[in-house]
Amino acid sequence: MESLARSGLRTILFTRAPTREQLDRYPIFEAFGIAGTTRSMAPDAMERTLRPVFESLRDLAVPIVHYKVCSTFDSSPQVGSMVE
């Protein structure tokens, strides 16, 4: 999101996947992010948590989706990784 904002896009951060109604409340924003906790989860917990998020993003039909798993090097195959 920092890169988007530095490039001039107006961004907003949500703590859950936003609904269409929530996005409509902020028409000036051109990009949004979702802050989650999956980087501290095992892959099976990530699957249970992320599937509904990705489904809601699909249903919003936004043109581009970028999901950042982790911004640090503290993940391993057992924690914070999308593959085992």
pLDDT at 8: 94
pTM: 0.72
Q: Is residue 44's pLDDT more than 60?
A: yes
pLDDT of residue 74: 59
Q: Which of 26, 21, 34 is nearest to 10 (CA)?
A: 26
List alpha helices for the chain, DSSP H.
Answer: 2-6, 20-24, 43-60
* Rounded mean pLDDT, 15-19: 90
The residue ranges of every structural domain in the chain are 2-60
Q: How confident is the model at residue 1 (pLDDT cuts 50, 70, 90)?
A: confident
